[in-house]
Amino acid sequence: MIRALELALKGPTKGINPQVGAVILDSTGVVIGEGFHNGSGTPHAEVVALEAALSGGKKLTPGSVAVVTLEPCNHTGKTGPCAQALIEAGVSKVVFASSDPGENSGGGANTLRAAGIEVESGIMSNKANKQLRVWLTSTKNQRPFVTLKWASSLDGRAAAQDGTSKWISGEESRADAHRRRSEVDAILVGTGTALIDDPELTARKTDGTLQESQPLRVVLGTRDLPSNLRVFNSDAETKTIKTQSIHGALSELYEQGIKHVLVEGGPTLASRFVQMDLVDEFVVYLAPMLIGGEKLSIGSIDVPSINQAKALVFQEVRKLGEDVLIVATPAREN
């Protein structure tokens, strides 16, 4: 399973399909085939591994085992069901880490058992679930995984009293933020941020050039936007969603195949996402400065007393130059 998890990470970090790795063992435990999923429309990891194991007209011997990071799928999409491919290949046993929560894709384990194949699940599931957390959360909730990001002073301010905020965070933090942009399917802001800050919302390298992978830029809100805003330039695709409904916007993005959204809006939009318990991950860059005043990074989130605070769990805390990066998740997710 360790090898299968390593292989999974070779697949694309974003897109509609998950990162999956697979290894085929013969009856003596020797690896005879391995593979990973390389993105939507390409063969799934199990099929790639089987093709390697069966190359040259070879056949699987009794006792062969397939080790997969995710429960083999049970539906026909752009490719066939992996559970059926494993059955037809003559695998004797299937071991997988994470269960597939999908209404259509799940159920592969039951199909395998019904065909007389031994199935063992949950092996190294903690590590696999962590690797697959974006896809698993999105599939389970039928909406994109939401990361909320902001940069602030040590006292939680996003800007000075005159509205200036460039730059609160340092170069290392900004480089990290651009890397994270390149790894998500979409960046979302409200019309207020688009009008006031006029951001490009692109993912750039440290030299200022565009990264190869650009997220979809999404602007949420009902206000009209002038076409000369930088968010409408040709550096990346932009989608406007003219609604105040966050649930509706997320549903629309999910139907479009968006699995991971990075929210970079101002305090009003951030507060709404938090209020509605729609944030799956918080990424915060804290700068060693004090600003004071009313320009908070986040506004009211309907927490009337301390015992109703929204509990978080720190997943990562480290220095980035002079700043501190904090990655946290809701306690409900842990």
Active-site residue, 46 included? yes
103 has pLDDT over 90: no
Q: Which of 46, 71, 264, 281 is catalytic?
A: 46
Strands 31-36 and 216-220: unpaired
* Total-model pTM: 0.90
Are the CB atoms for 265 and 151 separated by under 8 Å?
Answer: no
CA 14 – CA 22 distance, rounded (Å): 19
329 forms beta bridges with: 313
Alpha helices (H) along 54-190: 82-89, 108-114, 125-131, 133-141, 171-182
Instruction: Check residue 59 and give its pLDDT.
Output: 86
Name the phi and psi angles at 264, rounded to 5. -125, 20
For residue 160, what pLDDT is reported? 85
Q: Over the chain, what is the mean pLDDT?
A: 93
Residue ranges of domains in the chain, CATH in brackets: 2-133 (3.40.140.10), 142-333 (3.40.430.10)
Per-residue confidence band for 139, with pLDDT thresholds at 50, 70 and 90 = very high
φ, ψ of residue 114 in degrees (nearest 5):
-65, -25
Specify the pLDDT at position 78. Answer: 67
Give the pLDDT band (50/70/90) at residue 15. confident
Which pLDDT tens digit goes with each residue over 172-188?
A: 999 999 999 999 999 99
Q: Distance between CA 259 and CA 186 in Å, rounded?
A: 8
3-state SS assignment for residue 249: helix
Task: Tell me the β-bridge partners of 219.
Answer: 189, 240
Place of tokens 């990075």: 262
Query: 219, 173, 172: which is closest to 197 by C-alpha?
Result: 219
Lowest mean pLDDT among 23-32, 154-163, 307-316, 323-332: 154-163
More confident residue, 217 or 213: 217
